[in-house]
């Protein structure tokens, strides 16, 4: 069977010394999609609605990657706090456009870290601009426990309700909009670790951890990519 085409958003790295910027992405995202049976393709950050509208019919599924940037607080109606990191308008524009187009066209979508935060904002939610908590959520070497809600997609995919995940984020979801429900939290401090759509007829999931880094060793993280690809095939 033909592999479904999974579009993965790139990151943006300004390079002032070269008077230009780079679109790039770590290899793990594409490898995870490929290993799950999908055909990965990177999406450049062309902040033009005409671009994403012309692109979306060619995609079978969407993966919103993490980012070194933060979502601009203006997009969720808040003033910028000093701890908020750099923002890239191009990344915000492409992610938010793809989210709305995915909803309009019933494309399956998986958000990772920044991608989950963008998903929350796109649907009307807000973010915590900086986590000042004992658990260092922004340390990629840290692993911590998460508790998954009963009846969630995550419980089904992982065949359980308690998992160990990695972490690399200094922001988190705050107010979650009506179209999403919280389906996982950190057991140490209650930080939201996953959301999914309230519509049972579609696959729309966001996780705050980085499954692309641990999918070869953690069942739930691997199952997220496999389900994205399965949904994209159908």
Which residues belong to the active site?
113, 210, 212
Cβ distance 205 to 184 under 8 Å? no
All residues at 6 or more sequence positions from 162 whose CB lies less than 8 Å from its CB, including other chains: 145, 146, 147, 148, 187
The per-residue DSSP string of 21-64 comes to EEEE--HHHHHHHHHTT-EEEEE-----HHHHHHHGGG-SEEEE
Cβ distance 134 to 157 under 8 Å? no
Q: How far is Cα 210 from Cα 217, in angstroms, rounded to an integer?
A: 13
CA distances from 149 to 116, 163, 172 (A): 17, 12, 18
All residues at 6 or more sequence positions from 57 whose CB lies less than 8 Å from its CB, including other chains: 105
Q: SS3 for 18? A: helix
Cβ distance 206 to 111 under 8 Å? yes
The per-residue DSSP string of 70-108 comes to B--GGGGT-PPPTT---B-HHHHHHHHHHHHHHHHHT--
């Amino acid at each position: 069977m033909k592999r479904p085409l999974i579009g993965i958003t790139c990151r943006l790295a300004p390079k002032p010394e070269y008077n230009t910027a780079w679109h790039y992405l770590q290899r793990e995202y594409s490898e995870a999609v490929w290993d799950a049976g999908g055909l990965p393709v990177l999406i450049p950050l062309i902040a033009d609605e005409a671009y994403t509208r012309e692109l979306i019919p060619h995609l079978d599924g969407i993966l919103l990657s993490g980012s070194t940037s933060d979502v601009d607080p203006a997009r969720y109606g808040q003033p910028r706090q000093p701890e908020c990191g750099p923002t890239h308008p191009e990344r915000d524009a492409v992610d938010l456009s793809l989210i709305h187009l995915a909803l309009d066209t019933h494309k399956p979508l998986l958000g990772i870290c920044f991608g989950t935060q963008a998903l929350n904002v796109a649907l009307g939610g807000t973010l915590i601009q900086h986590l000042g908590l004992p658990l260092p959520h922004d340390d990629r070497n840290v692993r911590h426990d998460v508790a998954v809600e009963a009846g969630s997609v995550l419980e089904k995919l992982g065949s359980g309700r308690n998992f160990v995940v990695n972490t690399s984020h200094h922001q988190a979801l705050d107010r979650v909009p009506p179209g999403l429900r919280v389906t996982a939290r950190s057991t140490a401090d209650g930080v939201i670790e996953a959301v999914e759509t309230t519509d049972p007829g579609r696959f729309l999931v966001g996780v705050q951890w980085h499954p692309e880094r641990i999918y070869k060793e953690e069942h739930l993280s691997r199952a997220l990519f496999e389900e994205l690809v399965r949904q994209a095939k159908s």
